[in-house]
């Protein structure tokens, strides 16, 4: 059974950092592109970042570029999202999701409708 589990969310002050983790069971993470998405209250789910399976290409939304870093640890079957210089507008539930195709395109990487499996999410609150 395919399962994704996020962890690492919490309350952080503006300007602070958090590292989210995405753990997989039932499949090997490095075989698939893994995306990070977020959904703030009253807003649609949006793409934040993605790391491909083929060549570890990374993709970022403009709103998080130069602040967030996505990475893999294949030995641990984990994908991370390092979030720096956090802002109140980063407050949301963060989800990781898996794309079950051989290649992911730029157009697909941050599109939540293209993902096949989802975790339950972890909450990030940026507030003083």
Q: For position 1, what pLDDT does the model report?
A: 81
Residues of the chain with pLDDT under 50: none
Q: What distance in Å separates the CA atoms of residue 122 and residue 21, rounded to the nearest whole number?
A: 9
Cβ contacts of residue 86 below 8 Å, gap of 6+? 12, 13, 14, 15, 16, 17, 18, 67, 124, 126
Non-local (6+) Cβ contacts of 111 within 8 A are 47
pLDDT score for 48 = 98
To 5 degrees, how large is the angle CA 93–CA 77–CA 47? 30
Helix (H) or strand (E) holding 42: none
């Amino acid at each position: 059974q395919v399962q994704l589990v996020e962890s690492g969310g919490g309350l952080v002050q503006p300007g602070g950092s958090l590292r989210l983790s995405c753990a997989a069971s039932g499949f090997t993470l490095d075989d698939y592109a893994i995306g990070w998405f977020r959904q703030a209250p009253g807003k649609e789910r949006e793409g934040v970042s993605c790391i491909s399976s083929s060549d570890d290409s990374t993709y970022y939304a403009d709103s998080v570029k130069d602040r967030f870093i996505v990475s893999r640890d294949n030995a641990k079957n984990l994908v991370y999202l390092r979030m720096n210089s956090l802002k109140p507008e980063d407050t949301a539930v963060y989800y990781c999701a898996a794309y079950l195709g051989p290649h992911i395109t730029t157009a697909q990487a941050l599109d939540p409708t293209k993902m096949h499996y989802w975790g339950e999410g972890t909450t990030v609150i940026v507030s003083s």
